[in-house]
Structure 1
C-alpha cells in the first residue's frame, strides 16, 4: 500500500492516456455547453470554469491540454488551479 503524505496540494495535476483521436476529443469538449460551467478551447488547450453567476473569489478552473500520441491515442494533461484573472 502506498503511503500518503500530509502535504496539501493547492494546484493538483494529473496525466491520463486515453483511446481517442485528439481532434475528436477537442470537438467533444466544444459541443459541451452545460451550466454551471463555461468551456473555452484554444488550440489544444481547454479551460473549464464556473459561469458568472456561480463564480466567486477562489473558484477553481480546470485546464486541460490534449496531445496526440498517435492516430488513435491521446494524452491529457490536467491542472486544477485558481482563475488567473482574479
Structure 2
C-alpha cells in the first residue's frame, strides 16, 4: 500500500467494468470472506467492515460509491473512515468540550469586566484546550493503529476493482 493512502483516506479510481459486473464480483467475494469481513451493498454503495469478533475500537471501514460513466467504465469514489459509532462519540466529545470552553469564556469575560477573579475560569478553559488536543492526538494514534486493517480492506477491494 502506498504512503499516499495513509495520508489521504479518500480516493478516486476508474474501473473498466460496469457497475453490475462489479456488484456481482463483490457478491462472490462476500461469500468467500464472510467470517472475517462484512460486505454490505445497497444500490451503488458498498461498505466493507471488519467482523465484530475481530473489530477493535480503531478498526476502519471502507465505503465505496460507484458511478456509471458514459464510456461503460465505472468511477469509484472511496473513503476509509472510523467506525460510525466511534466517530459520533468523538464528535459528541468535541461539542461538549467546545461548549464548556465557550461557557467558561463568557463567564471569565463577565467576571473580568466586573473586576472579579477569573483564575478558575481560565484554568477550566485551558483544561478544555488540553483535552481538545488530547482528543486530536488520540484520534491520530488510533488511525495509525488501524492502518494494517485498512491495508487488508484495500486488498479485498482491489481483488475486484483491479482484475
Select which of 10, 13, 21 maps to 2:10: 13
Greater RCO between the two (CA within 8 Å, min separation 6)? 1
Equivalent residue number for residue 63 of structure 2: 63
Equivalent residue number for residue 72 of structure 1: 72
Equivalent residue number for residue 4 of structure 1: none
TM-score, normalising length: structure 1: 0.81
Equivalent residue number for residue 25 of structure 1: 22
SS of the residue 1:14 aligns to = strand
TM-score, normalising length: structure 2: 0.45
Q: Separation in 2 of the partners of 1:36 and 1:70?
A: 36
1:70 deviates by 2.5
1:60 deviates by 0.1
Q: Number of paired residues?
A: 79
Q: Separation in 1 of the partners of 2:18 and 2:70?
A: 8
Query: Does the aligned pair in 2 maintain the 1:21–1:71 contact within 8 Å?
Result: no
The alignment's C-alpha RMSD in Å is 1.9
Query: Deviating runs (4+, > 3 A) in structure 1?
Result: none
Greater helix proportion: 2
Greater strand proportion: 1
Structure 2: give runs of 5+ residues left out of the alignment: 1-5, 87-163
